[in-house]
A and B are shown apart, each in its own frame.
Chain A
């Protein structure tokens, strides 16, 4: 049965196959397929990922491999700690230089191969795809009249934005629905922006970024208590793109 289109192989130059093979076989635990399977490539060793992609090491002892940009292996969250530990023991693990950007349940390490090439491995547990609420309880954002029509205000105490338009009010979570990083509001453009993957969302949270399928920013339930806006940050609400513009009407003051 045909497979989804993907990389078929990556062919990399190594200076010493005897040195590189144990790294790819024993440390990274790639499946060894065999040596010299590619008559045109010279002395080589081939490995395979679980999805059937080939990693082909081609030896050239005369030339130091050019320093290339990194490439990334995906593995399961269960396997990640074991491989990471092995890289630590070999003093090859650089660690996660972007740890502060990661979602809950997302693990990543950068490391060197025996030729000094930077590589990366990543595991993403199911919780990384969730959008957690702030979990700060019910937060009084302020008086309704504190938020002018057209304004977007960040409420630090609850980690959310109050958005007010002619149609009403929304309390929008700051957590990016793509991978849990924090959006910031760009008032010049009337949109939210996440600097981790350059995703953008409209003022009401609809997704307009480049990662197809990312849902709108989550909203929090709002209660109007007298003239105060109270936001429940323990319970965020997923919305569809069509629902993103549905504002909560502001109660009409009793004369």
Chain B
């Protein structure tokens, strides 16, 4: 019987430079899959009106601050001034049906060493063998360091992978599923998206 969990539709990642991250996801993933399947929106607060409103009311991106406030009490805001920021500056990346909200980090996080290309948490995206070749070309063109292609023996469900990181060191993978039915189609982006 199929799981009641239909899909994981979005996964938030922290980035330390929104503009650079948005450019990276647009350039790399639209290069691999085509611009019609990739949409990048800078959805941060854009006006004084919105910023004032969010400061008073909270808004998208404040979930972690709310949880921490509930857990640690308001004195946490005294210790960590960034906890007072209402409305995390953010961008939104659609890669086909996958949604990656980019949240600007509230602190400097330790990144993995530059030479480490593989780790967790990691998000992987499927590719046909032709798209894998395209991915390698796109990464080279954009001077993105990567590991691979790595061929996986059975019983791995993917035959081949390349591993790389976004500019904030979030781990990414493009993989060729062993089952060709898992190759992605070129359907346009969904509409009325959340």
B124 at the interface (CB under 8 A from A): yes
A4 contact set on B, CB distance < 8 A: 96-97, 184-185, 187
Q: Write the B146-178 contact mask toward A (1 if CB under 8 angstroms, else 0).
A: 000010110111100000000000010101010
B139 at the interface (CB under 8 A from A): no
B122 contact set on A, CB distance < 8 A: 10-11
**When the two chains form their complex, are residues B120 and A178 in contact, meaning their CB atoms are under 8 A apart?**
no
Q: A5-B185, A7-B123 are in contact. Are A197 and B4 (CB under 8 A)?
A: no
Total chain B interface residues with beta-carbon distance under 8 A? 71
Residues of chain B from 38 to 92 with CB closer than 8 A to chain A in the complex: 41, 43, 45, 47, 49-50, 53-54, 57, 59-60, 63-64, 66-67, 70, 92
B96 contact set on A, CB distance < 8 A: 4-6
A186 at the interface (CB under 8 A from B): yes
Residues of chain A from 141 to 188 with CB closer than 8 A to chain B in the complex: 178-179, 184, 186, 188
B4 contact set on A, CB distance < 8 A: 29, 50, 75-76, 79, 82-83
**When the two chains form their complex, are residues A5 and B95 in contact, meaning their CB atoms are under 8 A apart?**
yes
**When the two chains form their complex, are residues A30 and B5 in contact, meaning their CB atoms are under 8 A apart?**
yes
Least Cβ–Cβ distance between A132 and chain B, in angstroms? 17
Q: Write the B122-158 contact mask toward A (1 if CB under 8 angstroms, else 0).
A: 1111100000000000000000000000101101111
A39 partner, pick from B57, B95, B121, B153, beta carbons under 8 A: B153
Residues of chain B from 7 to 48 with CB closer than 8 A to chain A in the complex: 7-14, 33, 37, 41, 43, 45, 47
**When the two chains form their complex, are residues A49 and B125 in contact, meaning their CB atoms are under 8 A apart?**
no
**When the two chains form their complex, are residues A8 and B191 in contact, meaning their CB atoms are under 8 A apart?**
no
A71 partner, pick from B12, B124, B157, beta carbons under 8 A: B12
**Chain B residue at smallest Cβ distance from A25:** B3
Residues of chain A from 53 to 107 with CB closer than 8 A to chain B in the complex: 53-55, 58, 65-66, 68-76, 79, 82-83, 94, 97-98
Q: Write the A24-65 contact mask toward B (1 if CB under 8 angstroms, else 0).
A: 000011110110011110000011111111110010000001
A127 at the interface (CB under 8 A from B): no
**When the two chains form their complex, are residues B47 and A12 in contact, meaning their CB atoms are under 8 A apart?**
no
Least Cβ–Cβ distance between B191 and chain A, in angstroms? 3
**When the two chains form their complex, are residues A213 and B181 in contact, meaning their CB atoms are under 8 A apart?**
no
Q: Taking chain A's interface residues, is the majority helix, strand, or loop, or is none over half, making it mixed?
A: loop
**When the two chains form their complex, are residues A53 and B8 in contact, meaning their CB atoms are under 8 A apart?**
yes
A65 contact set on B, CB distance < 8 A: 120
A7 partner, pick from B3, B11, B153, B189, beta carbons under 8 A: B11
**Chain B residue at smallest Cβ distance from A95:** B70
A125 at the interface (CB under 8 A from B): no
Q: A49-B3, A94-B67, A212-B191 are in contact. Are A74 and B9 (CB under 8 A)?
A: yes
**When the two chains form their complex, are residues A5 and B3 in contact, meaning their CB atoms are under 8 A apart?**
no
Cα A110 to Cα B126 in complex, Å, equals 28
Most chain A beta carbons < 10 A, residue from B70, B92, B121: B121
Least Cβ–Cβ distance between B1 and chain A, in angstroms? 8
A255 at the interface (CB under 8 A from B): no
**Chain B residue at smallest Cβ distance from A54:** B157
Least Cβ–Cβ distance between B69 and chain A, in angstroms? 10
Cα A51 to Cα B126 in complex, Å, equals 13
Least Cβ–Cβ distance between B71 and chain A, in angstroms? 9
B194 at the interface (CB under 8 A from A): yes
Least Cβ–Cβ distance between B97 and chain A, in angstroms? 4
Least Cβ–Cβ distance between A234 and chain B, in angstroms? 25
Q: A6-B96, A12-B121, A40-B150 are in contact. Are A110 and B67 (CB under 8 A)?
A: yes
Most chain B beta carbons < 10 A, residue from A73, A118, A214: A73
**When the two chains form their complex, are residues B181 and A70 in contact, meaning their CB atoms are under 8 A apart?**
no
A179 contact set on B, CB distance < 8 A: 194
Least Cβ–Cβ distance between A101 and chain B, in angstroms? 9
Other A-B pairs beyond A39-B152, A73-B6, A197-B194, 5, CB < 8 Å: A3-B181, A66-B109, A70-B64, A121-B5, A195-B60
Q: List 21 A-B contacts (CB under 8 A).
A: A2-B182, A3-B126, A3-B185, A5-B37, A5-B95, A5-B97, A5-B98, A5-B185, A6-B126, A7-B98, A7-B125, A9-B124, A37-B156, A40-B150, A50-B6, A71-B10, A73-B7, A76-B6, A97-B66, A189-B49, A212-B193
